[in-house]
A = this chain, B = another copy of it.
Amino acid sequence: MLKGKQSILFDDAPYIISSGSVVGKKEGEGPLGQLFDLVEEENLFGKDTWEEAESEMQKEACLMALGKAKLDPHEVRYLFGGDLLRQGIATSMGLEELHIPLFGLYGACSTSGEALALSSMSVAAGYGEYILAVTSSHFGSAEKEFRFPLAYANQRPPSSQWTVTGSGAFLVGRKKANVRIAGVTVGKIVDYGLKDSQNMGACMAPAACDTIIQNLSDFGYKSSDYDRIITGDLGYVGQSILFDLMRKQGKDIKENHMDCGMLIFDQQTQGTNAGGSGCGCAAVTLSSFILPKISTGEWKRVLFVPTGALMSTVSFNEGQSVPGIAHGIVLEHC
């Protein structure tokens, strides 16, 4: 069951039974706009603050995933959730009403991978028939948390990324479905010493490379054994660094690599610079775009690799570097 140094191959692989994606207006206008379950025209989602709006999105995404599976919240054993905000407040406030025992997570933008890893590990171990994994991010709350007041209208360098307003929830369980989580590769912190918080892609690419290489080694796969290797939010800058780093390890993944941060916005028309980012980016792209392709069998096996940049305003102000982390989830058609 243990594979190599960092991975688990499930003997009895759990399934992604259903999922829900809730996004904001800009995401709804992007290339994946028609695929999301719910596009809210108003980014406050009827609430008074960005944080409450993000909480509301998480709750709606969970209820959407549960609704598709015709389940009530009380039938879910545990919930793994997280967001980007200090003290994970969007998760605490949003999920309270569901009354599901909660494991709060923090893995920056890699959190959807962390949540799926722990959910599938728990289901495979028999710790629950149904377990929910949810993550979210919100452009408004993230700018407030990490950068400048929106009204200040600061300039954004070309390497900067646009935080996705969105939440994706995944119901993982034993009930047969068309997508299974065959295994996971848990990532290590990888620090190349970069300190530019406006260039997250560069900070995260080494971690993505490390996890992909480890996954291939642990499972004994070639990169071509995956129909797609899909990172979370490296964006255009991070992707080119990832290709360089992989090439140095003798691997070429240009043919089958995609990045959720590059898929979710139209860089040319939406002014999103290097691409989308945030906990919600990989989650809503998985729910709306990736899972349906695996479900129909168009893709047989996908390595989903959400990537996170581990920093805070405090660590940044104190001159610390921005290490990255990435978790790999092996998704298979069945």
Which A residues have a C-beta under 8 Å from some C-beta of B? Answer: 1-2, 6, 8, 48-49, 51-52, 77-78, 82, 84-89, 92-93, 95-96, 99-108, 114, 117-118, 121-122, 124-128, 144-145, 186-189, 191, 310-315, 318, 320, 323, 325
A102 CB contact (under 8 Å) in B89, B93, B188, B312: B188
Of A92, A99, A122, chain B has the most CB atoms within 10 Å of the CB of A92
Q: Are A96 and B323 in contact (CB under 8 A)?
A: yes
CA A117 – CA B51 in complex, angstroms? 29
Question: What's the minimum C-beta distance from A298 to chain B, rounded to whole angstroms?
Answer: 31
Task: Write out the residue numbers on chain B whose beta carbons fall within 8 Å of the beta carbon of A105.
Answer: 103-106
Is B102 within 8 A of A82, CB to CB? Answer: no
A87-B315, A102-B186, A104-B114 known; 12 new pairs, CB 8 Å cut-off, are A86-B86, A89-B314, A92-B310, A99-B188, A101-B188, A102-B325, A103-B117, A103-B118, A103-B186, A105-B106, A124-B125, A144-B314
Q: How far is the CA of A106 from the CA of B91 in the complex (A)?
A: 10
A87-B86 contact given A104-B106, A121-B127, CB 8 Å threshold: yes
Nearest Cβ on chain B to A120's Cβ, whole angstroms:
11
Q: Which of A52, A100, A314 is the most central at the interface, judged by chain B CB atoms within 10 Å of its CB?
A: A314
Shortest distance from the beta carbon of A232 to any chain B beta carbon, whole Å: 15
> Are the C-beta atoms of A312 and B186 separated by less than 8 Å?
no
Contact yes or no, B86 A314, CB < 8 A: yes
Contact yes or no, B101 A107, CB < 8 A: no
A-B contact pairs, 7 of them (CB 8 A): A1-B126, A1-B127, A6-B101, A87-B310, A100-B188, A121-B121, A125-B125
* A318 touching B96 in the complex, CB below 8 Å, given contacts A2-B128, A311-B87: no
Write out the residue numbers on chain B whose beta carbons fall within 8 Å of the beta carbon of A311. Answer: 87, 89, 92
CB distance B310 to A101 under 8 Å? no
Nearest B residue to A146 by beta-carbon distance? B87
Residue numbers in B under 8 Å from A84 (CB-CB): 87
Contact indicator B106/A87 (Cβ below 8 Å)? yes
CB within 8 Å for A127 and B312 given contacts A86-B87, A103-B118:
no
Q: Which residues of B contact A121 (CB under 8 A)?
A: 121-122, 125, 127
**A103-B107 in contact given A310-B89, A312-B86 (Cβ < 8 Å):** yes
Chain B residue with Cβ nearest A322: B92
Chain B residues whose C-beta falls within 8 Å of the C-beta of A108 in the assembled complex: 87
The interface residues of chain B lying within 8 Å CB-to-CB of A85 are 312, 314
Chain B residue contacts of A191, Cβ below 8 A: 96
CB-nearest residue of chain B to A88: B106
Closest to A211 in B: B101
Closest residue to A81 on the B side, CB-wise? B106
Measured between beta carbons, the chain B residues less than 8 angstroms from A6 are 101
Identify which of B51, B124, B323 contacts A314 (C-beta below 8 A): B51
The docked-state distance in angstroms from the alpha carbon of A82 to that of B92 is 16
* Cα–Cα, bound, A100→B186 (Å): 9
Closest to A115 in B: B103
The 6 closest A-B pairs by CB, nearest first: A86-B86, A125-B125, A101-B186, A92-B310, A87-B312, A96-B189
